[in-house]
Amino acid sequence: MSPAAAPHFRRAIRFYDASIGKKAVMAITGVILFAYVLGHLLGNLQIYAADHDQINRYAAFLHDPARAGLLWAVRGLLFISVVLHITASIQLWSLNRAARPIGYVKKDNVPSAYAARTMMWSGPIIAAFVIFHILHLTTGSVLPLEELGPNRPNVRANVINGFQHPAVAAAYMVAMVLLCLHLYHGLWSMFQSVGLSHPRYTPGIKRVAAIAAILVAAGNISIPLTVITGLLPD
């Protein structure tokens, strides 16, 4: 490291060492992951397009070898964000535990303690879901995947074939309910933990967070639901 960069590096480490630094990392990586979930949902909703090949053309665009660098850059950013998000959450959780006197429960902290507890079990389940999901629809390790050609996955067929298995559809729907809870608590507590909270605005922030979380979950759940009920024709 150059001598000029060393003080900046030390300052960044000191910032991360403080609880607010970890909260900032949680917030920034949370926003990146939320943006991905939103973008991914908008891409997936193309499964309802009248032109059944629309979503496959979109997947072929993403998999075009000419854009492989960009694809891997996004994958790298997501991977780093997930690792930092999980690491900071565990460190914050153990800091909070260490700071909490045994047997002491402060009344007005109960809702945020409940939110934090919800995050600590919904988070690992969502992480397990993402691993299962990549094995299912990216690597084809759960069910065989169809391809229309090299780098052209038949996403429409793969999604419909997968959700025709009730256990797979059910697992996705349960994971999406947990994702809804996680997004709701994550979105509003993000404002709280970086100090942007005010009795006048918090109810509005919570309402917007609830609407965003419910819309994301409903959009995602609609896909296994319409497949399993036969509303999405193959």
C-beta of residue 43 within 8 angstroms of C-beta of residue 58:
yes
- Minimum Å gap between C-beta 139 and ligand HEM is 9
CA 170 to chain CA mean position, Å: 19
- Minimum Å gap between C-beta 223 and ligand HEM is 4
C-alpha distance across the termini of the chain, in Å:
56
SS3 153: strand
Provide the binding-site residues for ligand HEM, judged by CB under 6 A: 37, 40, 44, 59, 62-63, 75, 126, 130, 133-134, 137-138, 153, 155, 159, 172, 179, 220, 223-224
Nearer of residues 18 and 35 to ligand HEM, judged by Cβ: 35
How crowded is residue 73: how many other Cβ atoms within 10 Å of its Cβ?
A: 11
- Minimum Å gap between C-beta 174 and ligand HEM is 12
Across the strands, what pairs with 147? 153
- Minimum Å gap between C-beta 75 and ligand HEM is 5
The encoded tokens of residue 5 equal: 């960069």
Nearer of residues 112 and 215 to ligand HEM, judged by Cβ: 215
Nearer of residues 179 and 205 to ligand HEM, judged by Cβ: 179
Distance CA 118, CA 33 (A): 18
Nearer of residues 122 and 220 to ligand HEM, judged by Cβ: 220
